Structure 1
Amino acid sequence: MNDNSPTPAKRTEPQPDPDLDTSSDSEEPAFAWLTDSGASTPDVSPARSAGAGQGGVTQPESRAGRKAAEAAVEPPAAVPSVEESLRKEPSAQGATRNGAHFSEPLPTSALQVRPPQEEVERRNAERESAANAKPVAPRIWQVLLALFYPVILLVLAVRAVTSPLFLWAEYNRPGFPGDGYGFSTDDRMTYGSYAVDYLSNWAGPRYLGDLVNRSGGDLFKDGEVSHMADVKVVILSAFGGGALLIVLSLVAIAYLRRRSPGGVRRGLFAGSIVALAIILGLGALAVLGWQQFFTEFHRIFFASGSWTFALEDTLIRLFPGQFWIDAGIVIAALVLLASLVTLILTWPTRRRRGLAKDEPIAAEA
Structure 2
Amino acid sequence: MSDKSQKPQEPDTDVHEDPNEPAFDWMKPKPSTASSTSAPATKAAAVPEAGAAPKREAAVAGSITDAPAAASAAQPESRAGRKAAEAADVDPEPPLFADTLAGASTDKQPSHYSEPLPTSALQVRPPEDEVARRNAEREQAAKVKPIGPRIFQVLLAVFFPVILLVLAVRAVTSPLFLWMEYNRPGFPGDGYGFSTDDRMTYGSYAVDYLSNWAGPRYLGGLVNLDGAKLFKDSEVAHMADVKLVILSSFGAGLLLIVLSIIAIVYLRKRSNGGVRRGLFAGSIVTLVIIIGLAVLAALSWQQFFTEFHRIFFANGTWTFSLDDTLIRLFPGQFWVDAGIVIGALVFLAATLTFILTWPTRSRRGLEPKQAQETAGGSEDTPEVVSEDDKATKEASDSKR
Q: Same fold (TM over 0.5)?
A: yes
Task: Tell me: CA distance 1:257–1:361, structure 2 relative to 1, closer, same or farther (3 Å).
Answer: farther
Cα distance in 1 for residues equivalent to 2:101 and 2:226: 122
Aligned counterpart, 2:227: 216
Q: How far did residue 183 of structure 1 move?
A: 0.8
> Aligned partners of 1:354, 1:364: CA distance in 2, in Å?
6
Write the distance in 2 (CA, Å) between the matches of 1:171 and 1:82: 103
Deviations 1:49-87 (A, max 9, x none): xxxxxxxxxxxxxxxxxxxxxxxxxxxxxxxx9457757
1:53-202 matches, within 5 Å, as 82-83=99-100, 92-93=109-110, 96-97=111-112, 102=113, 104-105=115-116, 109-202=120-213
- 1:363 equivalenced with 2:374 (yes/no): no
**Does structure 1 conserve the Cα–Cα contact (< 8 Å) formed by 2:365 and 2:384?**
no
Amino acid at match of 1:343: F
What secondary structure sits across from 1:109 in the alignment? helix
- CA, structure 1 residues 183+347, in 2 after alignment: closer, same or farther (shift >3 Å)? same
* Corresponding position of 1:310: 321
Moved over 4 A (4+): 83-89, 359-362
- What is the identity, as a one-letter code, of the residue corresponding to 1:149? F
Shift of 1:108: 5.2
Aligned counterparts of 1:253 and 1:84: Cα–Cα separation in 2: 61
**Aligned equivalents of 1:117, 1:300: Cα separation in 2:** 65
Q: Which residue of 2 aligns with 1:266?
A: 277
Q: Cα gap change, 1:85/1:163 in structure 2, threshold over 3 Å: closer, same or farther?
A: closer
* Residues 149-191 of structure 1 deviation map (CA, whole Å, 9 limit, x = unaligned): 1111000000000001111111111111111111111111110
Equivalent residues of 2:280, 2:354 under 8 A apart = yes
Q: Give the deviation of 1:324 after TM superposition.
A: 0.4
- 1:242 Cα deviation from its structure 2 partner: 0.6
- Within the candidate set 305, 329, 345, 2:340 is matched to 329
Written as runs of structure 1 = structure 2, the 5 A alignment for 1:345-356 is: 345-356=356-367
In the superposition, the TM-score normalised over structure 1's length comes to 0.72
SS of the counterpart of 2:140? helix
TM-superposed CA distance for 1:103, in Å, is 5.4
* 1:298 corresponds to: 309
CA distance in 1, matches of 2:358, 2:232: 52
2:245 to 234, 243, 265: 234
CA distance in 2, matches of 1:271, 1:193: 34
For structure 1, which runs of at least 5 residues remain unmatched after alignment?
1-80
Distance in 2 (CA, whole Å) between partners of 1:164 and 1:198 is: 11
In the alignment, is the contact (CA less than 8 A) between 2:367 and 2:384 conserved in 1?
no
Matched residue SS, 2:272: coil
User: In the alignment, is the contact (CA less than 8 A) between 2:161 and 2:283 conserved in 1?
Assistant: yes
Question: Deviations 1:24-72 (Å, cap 9, x if unpaired)?
Answer: xxxxxxxxxxxxxxxxxxxxxxxxxxxxxxxxxxxxxxxxxxxxxxxxx
Pick from 240, 256, 263 the counterpart of residue 245 of structure 1.
Answer: 256
Letter of the 1:154 counterpart: L
Superposed displacement of residue 107, structure 1: 6.6
Query: Which amino acid is 2:166 matched to?
Result: V
Cα distance in 2 between the residues matched to 1:206 and 1:106: 89
SS at match of 2:317: coil
Q: C-alpha separation between the residues in 2 aligned to 1:120 and 1:164?
A: 73
Residue 292 (structure 2) aligned to one of 257, 281, 286: 281
Deviations along 1:312-351, one digit per CA (max 9) or x if unpaired, are 1110111111100000000000000001111111111112
Supply the distance in 2 between the matched residues of 1:289 and 1:125 (Cα, whole angstroms): 58
In the aligned structure 1, how far is the partner of 2:335 from the partner of 2:385?
46
Going from structure 1 to structure 2, the CA distance change for 1:221 and 1:185 (only over 3 Å counts) comes to same
CA distance in 1, matches of 2:101, 2:190: 115
Structure 1: distance between partners of 2:329 and 2:383: 57
Q: CA RMSD in A?
A: 2.2
Counterpart CA distance in 2 for 1:198 and 1:204 is 8
Q: Which amino acid aligns with 2:257?
A: I
- 1:211-250 per-residue CA deviation (whole Å, 9 max, x = no partner) reads 0012110000000000000000000011111111111111
CA shift in 2, pair 1:106/1:148, >3 Å: closer
Unaligned regions of 5+ residues in structure 2, if any? 1-97, 373-380, 387-400
What percent identity do the matched residue pairs reach? 74
The residue type equivalent to 1:175 in the other structure is: G
Bigger radius of gyration, 1 or 2? 1
- Provide the rounded CA distance (Å) in 2 between the counterparts of 1:164 and 1:133: 52
CA distance in 1, matches of 2:153, 2:114: 62
Shift of 1:133: 1.8
Alpha-carbon offset, residue 285 of structure 1: 0.8
Q: Is the 8 A contact 2:230 2:325 kept in 1?
A: yes
